[in-house]
């Protein structure tokens, strides 16, 4: 299928083209096509969440293994009840977390309503649900209804945070990209599984474990210890590693002992002033994936993360560890 489609860019970044771009994207989605769209975390590759044929196109366009389930995106938290079937303690927990963090960069895993096609869930009895806060995503979802959307990268590449990143990966493979400008968060949503006896974070993001525990008034299960909680199927796949090697250094001594190399340095604020011999940029969630893509495009030998990992937020730390694996 590669190179067989003309991929159009629908520009929702200017007031003149905004409405028309969103209407066109909604039309394509309603006829069963896949369209990439912006969310505040990363761009998603959308398809009608109630159409198994449309969902199959998402897996094909991304080259995604069919046993890795998708997140169902909704316009409003009130739609959670249509897609999820929480019972017992889950009802209260879902209401508290939705009230505090939706719309926003949070995904909840709940027992699935039978109306959600099994292909969207990779056959699991649960479904992942998220209400994005990006105004373009909200406007689109209000027109289309629920959309499945994995990150809009080719499998194995970093999640896209601009329409250009999506184009670089998926041009010729999807009919359209809705451009809503660069993403403000930059890493994927925090995924919290509420379907077990204790809530557990399956994927860290910018909403922290502490924030979630504060809202719930209880401790979460420790994901690392398993605790019998079903793991996120996505975790078993090799995650994106840039072609450049990724090295972590956390002191001036370690930095100075690096052998000479063509490198891009991403530095935490406390180290930013101490590098003068290399291309250096601030280490931040919002731009991390764009930096990985830039380093790969430039063919640099090595990306140096100059930071004390334990001082970083869990989401950023997790993505750096995966890239360095």
Give the footprint of ligand TXA on residues 65-84 (CB under 6 A).
68-71
Q: Does 151 bind Mg ion (CB under 5 A)?
A: yes
Give the footprint of ligand TXA on residues 181-240 (CB under 6 A).
188-189, 191, 202-203, 232-234
| 140 Cβ neighbours under 8 A, 6+ residues apart | 22, 25, 26, 29, 37, 46, 147, 178
Per CB under 6 A, which region of 1-9, 50-58, 126-134, 263-271 contacts ligand TXA?
126-134
Per CB under 5 A, which region of 31-39, 147-155, 198-206, 272-280 contacts Mg ion?
147-155
Torsion angles phi and psi, residue 25, rounded to 5: -60, -45
CB of residue 214 vs ligand TXA: minimum separation in angstroms?
22
Using the minimum distance from each CB to ligand TXA, give the nearer residue, 121 or 157. Answer: 121
End-to-end CA distance of the chain: 32
| Binding map of ligand TXA across residues 151-190, x = CB under 6 A, - = no contact | x------------------------------------xx-
CA distances from 121 to 65, 112, 286 (A): 12, 8, 28
| Binding map of ligand TXA across residues 16-55, x = CB under 6 A, - = no contact | -----------------------x-xx-x-----------
Say which DSSP state 270 is in.
G
Using the minimum distance from each CB to ligand TXA, give the nearer residue, 178 or 278. Answer: 178
Torsion angles phi and psi, residue 19, rounded to 5: -65, -45
Pairing of strands 302-306, 263-267: parallel
| Binding map of ligand TXA across residues 93-122, x = CB under 6 A, - = no contact | --------------x-x-----------x-
3-state secondary structure of 113: coil
Size of the site for ligand TXA (CB under 6 A): 27
Per CB under 6 A, which region of 86-94, 125-133, 258-266, 274-282 contacts ligand TXA?
125-133
Q: Does 144 bind ligand TXA (CB under 6 A)?
A: no
Say which DSSP state 17 is in.
T
Using the minimum distance from each CB to ligand TXA, give the nearer residue, 58 or 278. Answer: 58
Using the minimum distance from each CB to Mg ion, give the nearer residue, 126 or 278. Answer: 126
E strand segments, the chain: 8-11, 35-37, 44-48, 71-73, 106-111, 126-130, 147-148, 176-179, 190-193, 200-203, 245-249, 263-267, 279-282, 302-306
Query: Using omega within 30 degrees of 0 as the cis cutoff, is the peptide bond preceding 92 cis?
Result: no
Which residues contact ligand TXA by CB under 6 A?
39, 41-42, 44, 68-71, 107, 109, 121, 124, 126-128, 130, 149-151, 188-189, 191, 202-203, 232-234
């Amino acid at each position: 299928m590669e190179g067989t489609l003309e991929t159009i860019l629908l520009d929702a970044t200017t007031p003149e083209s905004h409405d028309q771009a969103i209407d066109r994207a909604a039309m394509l989605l309603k006829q069963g096509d896949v369209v990439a769209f912006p969310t505040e975390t990363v761009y998603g590759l959308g398809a009608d969440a109630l159409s198994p044929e449309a969902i199959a196109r998402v897996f094909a366009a991304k080259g995604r293994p069919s046993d890795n389930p998708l997140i169902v995106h909704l316009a409003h938290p009130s739609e959670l009840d249509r897609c999820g079937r929480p019972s017992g303690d889950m009802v209260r927990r879902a209401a508290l977390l939705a009230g505090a963090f939706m719309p926003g960069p949070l995904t909840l895993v709940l027992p699935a309503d039978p109306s959600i096609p099994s292909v969207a869930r990779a056959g699991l009895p649960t479904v992942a649900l998220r209400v994005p806060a990006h105004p373009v995503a909200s406007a689109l979802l209000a027109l289309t209804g629920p959309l499945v959307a994995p990150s809009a990268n080719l499998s194995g590449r970093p999640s896209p945070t601009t329409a250009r990143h999506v184009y670089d990966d998926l041009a010729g493979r999807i009919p359209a990209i809705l451009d809503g400008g660069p993403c403000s968060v930059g890493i994927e949503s925090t995924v919290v599984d509420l379907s077990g006896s204790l809530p557990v974070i399956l994927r860290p993001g910018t909403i922290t474990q502490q924030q979630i525990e504060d809202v719930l008034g209880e401790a979460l299960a420790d994901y690392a210890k398993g605790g019998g909680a079903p793991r996120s199927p996505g975790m078993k796949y090799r995650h994106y590693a840039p072609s450049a090697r990724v090295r972590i250094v956390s002191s001036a001594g370690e930095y100075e002992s690096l052998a000479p190399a063509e490198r891009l340095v991403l530095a935490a604020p406390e180290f930013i002033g101490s590098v003068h011999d290399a291309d250096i940029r601030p280490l931040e969630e919002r731009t991390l994936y764009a930096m990985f893509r830039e380093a790969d495009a430039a063919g640099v030998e090595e990306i140096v993360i100059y930071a004390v990992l334990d001082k970083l937020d869990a989401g950023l730390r997790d993505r750096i560890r995966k890239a360095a694996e």
